[in-house]
Structure 1
């Protein structure tokens, strides 16, 4: 008996290390469908995703643009729950406030697959109450808007950038105003404020009352625009870091973690604005570079990169968790354009 016990003990010590692997860090299951240019928000421990483009790049129709709505628990969730959807839309975003999820604008194609493009920007706005499981219509935007972004600054929704697509044969109009919706007002209505740029394919995130507007077409090498939702004034922060000759500013993703602005560009790196707000530092990198993706905080020291389009792989379903370095690596400012 003793020899048998000794034999088993030796075999246990000699067993391959893979026989008892340590538990892997928790993640988030892949999206129900590979999608880009969609809406995403974290709300009360859940990740919500809405709509987006599930077809080939620059090919939009009533089948490739989605109106589906799902959620999954961020901490240990394994299955996506399908929720009541809405209008098919891409080029929108979701934000969360007071336990509810808000949806603003987006682009909706009217053409069937194979027909000429007929894309229209939506003025629709709505909020979803997880307790009732229902959408509630909100005041429409003054005009259709897509390829914009939305951030929550205090009790205000702030919409920045974007354009209005008017359909087949019509010229799109670039927006020159930001919009504010005060959620504490007795009567909800949108207020327009002049913005010092005309850009789309940008992203935004808020720190307190300040909304940082990051990237977008035409933003390479230019300072980051910052909107103060309390004073309704604009200022600037450092331009996004350069990767090669450009800052790769087209459709980055951003979030706020521990009061700091975090951004990821299609080049792959994840950057953080310094505490002084005078420069950027590298704090991580994506294994799968992606654009028109979304980012949400994942605990106090990580972010989740969601979906998007990879330059090499096309639309991505995987959700990647990136742990942020405690001490970042300083990054030189890009050359002025």
Structure 2
């Protein structure tokens, strides 16, 4: 774990989180332990980054290497790193722009880097934060980035997922120099079967949220938690069905206090959808999709991390932070209860 302390978000945020932590501590769910693996710690520790697993490799791009609410160009990641799931050191790949708050997805041997924001200021200067519209594909075989059609508008603090051959991007906002931005009312898709893929609009989402997670599950898109304007956290789940083109509201995440959904991470594996929260809860969506259930406590409670499936029975957690303990550099692999 990084020894640097992660500054508190706000007194209010902490007050909202403590009841949820106490509730979780009293629950009967099992506490998981990380299985033994040989993946080295990812240093420097980062938050708000992109990560995927492709084949037997874990990939991480970008992120914030500074403390909470501290941003500068030199403290943003601009490198693609990979590590073999069987263990070993991290390998540095081809560089790109400095970004955090980006999305990273994988499809058929390529990684897709989407949006994010760049700090245009140097360390110690007044923040100048600008969301980006850039999209690029990394070919794992050639180890090269190729620019694709940019997003129709700059977007950061969003997330993305793949259903079939299509990338879906939802949520986020557009930072134009300050530390607050214009909240997006739009969502987009990119059909990767096209010779020159172009972004197409989705029906307008019935929400505006950022710091969300987005996951594909049973052919549908799940948008989970996050923050809503003017700045209140949300435990809400929204579901988009590409077959019907309709949005519906799903169940709220469990856990007392709205902070539960802030900076969460979600992914589906083995026909089940999972989400890990700031409280350290591992939640699973019920078979009928009508409720979440807490099935375990994670080894470490993190937010602005990434949780990814190793296989149908194991989840990997990388990066992120805890308000009390700081940023995490160690990688954890847990067995799903």
- CA separation of 1:165/1:221 partners in 2, compared to 1, >3 Å: closer, same or farther? closer
Q: Residue 115 of structure 1 aligns with which residue?
A: 125
Alignment of 1:158-197 (within 5 A): 158-168=168-178, 172-193=181-202, 194-197=204-207
1:283 positional shift: 2.2
Q: Residue 300 of structure 1 aligns with which residue?
A: 312
- Work out the CA distance in 1 between the residues paired with 2:192 and 2:130: 27
SS at match of 1:188: coil
Deviations 1:69-128 (A, max 9, x none): 111112x12111110010000001211001111100001000001100000000000010
Q: Residue 43 of structure 2 aligns with which residue?
A: 32
Alignment of 1:1-337 (within 5 A): 25-26=36-37, 28-74=39-85, 76-168=86-178, 172-193=181-202, 194-218=204-228, 223-242=236-255, 244-246=256-258, 248-325=260-337
1:208 positional shift: 3.8
1:25 positional shift: 3.3
1:49 positional shift: 0.3
SS at match of 1:248: helix
Indicate conservation of the 8 Å contact 1:220/1:240, yes or no.
no
- Work out the CA distance in 2 between the residues paired with 1:230 and 1:46: 32
- Work out the CA distance in 2 between the residues paired with 1:44 and 1:93: 19
- CA separation of 1:221/1:52 partners in 2, compared to 1, >3 Å: closer, same or farther? closer
1:282 positional shift: 2.0
SS at match of 2:77: strand
- Work out the CA distance in 2 between the residues paired with 1:132 and 1:97: 15
1:247 positional shift: 5.5
Indicate conservation of the 8 Å contact 1:32/1:80, yes or no.
no
Extract unaligned runs of 5+ from structure 2. 1-34
- Work out the CA distance in 2 between the residues paired with 1:236 and 1:260: 18
SS at match of 2:207: coil
**Greater RCO, CA 8 A, separation 6+:** 2
Decide which structure has the larger Cα Rg and report it: 1
Deviations 1:210-243 (A, max 9, x none): 111011014856541011233322112211112x
With 26-35 and 62-71 compared, the bigger mean Cα shift is at 26-35
1:186 positional shift: 3.0
- Work out the CA distance in 1 between the residues paired with 2:205 and 2:234: 19
Indicate conservation of the 8 Å contact 2:222/2:238, yes or no.
yes
RMSD between aligned residues: 1.6
Indicate conservation of the 8 Å contact 2:254/2:294, yes or no.
no
